[in-house]
Amino acid sequence: MSELDWAYLNRVIEGPSRPLQQLLAAGRDASEIASGVRTRASWLGELAGQTAARHTFDRMEEDVAAAAAVGARLIAPESAEWPTAEFDRAFGFAATGRSEHLRSYQADAVPPHALWVRGGPLAPAVAQSVAVVGTRAATRYGLEATRQIATGLASHQWTVVSGGALGIDTVAHETALGAGGMSVAVAACGIDRTYPARNAGLLDRIAASGCVVTEYPPGTPPQRHRFLTRNRLVAALTAGTVIVEAAWRSGALNTLSWCEGLGRVAMAVPGPVTGAGSLGCHERIKEGRAQLVTGADDIRALLGAVGALDVSEQYELAFAATPVQSLTRNELRCFDAIEPAGSVAQDIAAAAGLPLPLAVHLLMELNRRGVVTREGTRWSRADTL
């Protein structure tokens, strides 16, 4: 990976950028595009306009150093930890035009071109994840509902993803960590900035076991439009989004709209009918735009059902007359990672690209269902399959 070229592009092009994605899809690499932006190449097309104001911002070395100073790094599509599967499914769905919910911001429905990450590898962290978001002005009811949901998800090895904001976001992160689970915070500012300042300690704890991620270069301040852009990443990185307490015009509803538009599972927790704090949740449920969920079991049932079939419709797997047809995507990743002579859990996790605790959890479930067997520390595919 040409880290400095990607750092330059990340600085001069504030994502999302459809023109940049089109150039990448056409076969131009980061070095060529970076050079083209600097020299104002004729083939830049719309990217020329997007970079007109910032193309002289050659701060890539300073940005990489600023990130390193806080223990962060830059990753790009060719990085081993890039969440390729998640982005391909989410933005691939958006590109089909089947969604009715991206008409007003279709131009933004493209993946980031680079991400700054503090903590562990991003791809394994979000391999089995769900977003939990909601209002900053949370009630006792909303906070307790969030705690119950996050605890149930973490106990079944689901990573809880949120935006690191006060209120519902904070409780979702804290509860997941407190239950021994993993959490990911998606920021709307530079990786070297802390927002909100009150959550500095929480973000450090998230990075210690999960990760903090942003598509904005170091030093970038949090601004209103960046929160809206950030929301698409929260939705894209996860299998589904759960909203807990959202008033009529709550910003958290934007994340749920992105969830719909990116083909993920949209869910909402009903609230008391005596106040307006959950009116946004109730409207989405009534309109059929969000599934009603009351706890982690409901969420896992919905997401498990979606993961049972390959989104690319590989019929030879989906309709094979074996127990393999019932495996979720992550279960299938573990199953396929087992060598013919058997494998230990650490090797299976590495080959599948999953966190070790999640891989062990899945292997134990597959063992219970008779799909795999265990002898000592080695796991094997069942002979009957």
| 330 lies in the same domain as 259 | no
Q: Are residues 296 and 371 in the same domain?
A: no
Tell me if 379 sits within 8 A of 373, measured CB to CB.
Answer: yes
Q: Residue 115: which residues within 8 A CB-CB, separation 6 or more?
A: 74, 75, 76, 82, 122, 213, 214, 215
In a domain, 87, yes or no: no
Neighbours of 288 (CB within 10 A): 8
Closest of 141, 147, 140 to residue 176, by C-alpha: 147
355 found inside a domain: yes
Domain match, 298 and 367 both? no
Last residue of a domain, one of 58, 84, 100: 58
CATH code of residue 301: 3.40.50.450
pLDDT per residue, tens digit, the chain (385 aa), is 589 999 999 999 998 999 999 999 999 999 999 999 999 999 999 999 999 999 999 999 999 999 999 999 999 999 999 999 999 999 999 888 777 665 555 678 999 999 999 999 999 999 999 999 999 999 999 999 999 999 999 999 999 999 999 999 999 999 999 999 999 999 999 999 999 999 999 999 999 999 999 999 999 999 888 998 999 999 999 999 999 998 877 778 999 999 999 999 999 999 998 888 899 999 999 999 999 999 999 999 999 754 433 333 433 444 444 677 667 778 888 898 999 889 999 999 888 888 888 889 999 989 988 899 999 999 999 876 5
- pLDDT tens digits, residue range 269-313? 999 988 888 999 999 999 999 999 999 999 999 997 544 333 334
Q: Let me know whether 279 and 130 are in one domain.
A: yes
Domain contains 79: no
Q: Which two tokens stand for residue 225?
A: 């439009």
Q: How far apart are CA 339 and CA 377, in angstroms?
A: 14
| Residue 129 placed within a domain | yes
Would you state the structure tokens that stand for residue 12, as one six-digit string? 């001069």
Q: Are residues 285 and 327 in the same domain?
A: no
Cβ neighbors of 130 (< 8 A, separation 6 or more) are: 153, 158, 159, 160, 161, 238, 239, 240, 241, 242, 299, 303
> Same domain, yes or no, for 191 and 268?
yes
Check whether residue 283 and residue 163 sit in a common domain.
yes
Alpha carbon separation from 180 to 81, 205, 294 (Å, rounded): 22, 12, 22
Range of the domain at 26: 1-58
Measured between alpha carbons, how far is 65 from 67 in angstroms, rounded to an integer? 5
The Cα–Cα gap between 58 and 17 comes to 19
Could you give phi then psi for residue 373, rounded to 5 degrees? -120, 160
Cα 235 to Cα 146: distance, rounded to the nearest angstrom? 18
Q: Are residues 319 and 263 in the same domain?
A: no
Question: What is residue 311's predicted lDDT score, i.e. its pLDDT?
Answer: 34
What the block records as the tokens of 358 is 């999640």
Q: 320 and 292 in one domain?
A: no
Any residues with CB less than 8 A from the CB of 202 and at least 6 apart, and which? 164, 170, 173, 174
pLDDT at 308: 36
Question: What's the CATH code of the domain at 368?
Answer: 1.10.10.10
The whole-model pTM stands at 0.85
Name the domain count of the chain.
Answer: 3
Q: Are residues 333 and 287 part of one domain? A: no
Q: Is residue 204 part of a domain?
A: yes
Query: How far is 178 from 202, CA to CA, in rounded Å?
Result: 11
Q: Which of 307, 341, 364 is the last residue of a domain?
A: 307
Both 17 and 151 in a single domain? no
Q: Is residue 63 assigned to a domain?
A: no
Same domain, 276 and 375: no
Asked if residue 77 has a cis previous peptide bond (ω within 30° of 0), the answer is no
User: Quick check: is 32 in a domain?
Assistant: yes
User: Parallel, antiparallel, or unpaired for β 265-269 and 240-244?
Assistant: parallel
Rounded Cα gap, residues 261 and 231, in angstroms: 12
Q: Interior CA angle at 73 toward 70 and 75, to 5°?
A: 155
Domain-ending residue, one of 21, 39, 58: 58
- Up-side HSE of residue 86: CA atoms within 13 Å toward CB? 27
Calpha distance 206→182 (Å, rounded): 8
- The answer, yes or no, to whether the previous bond of 221 is cis (omega within 30 of 0) is no
Q: Is residue 352 part of a domain?
A: yes
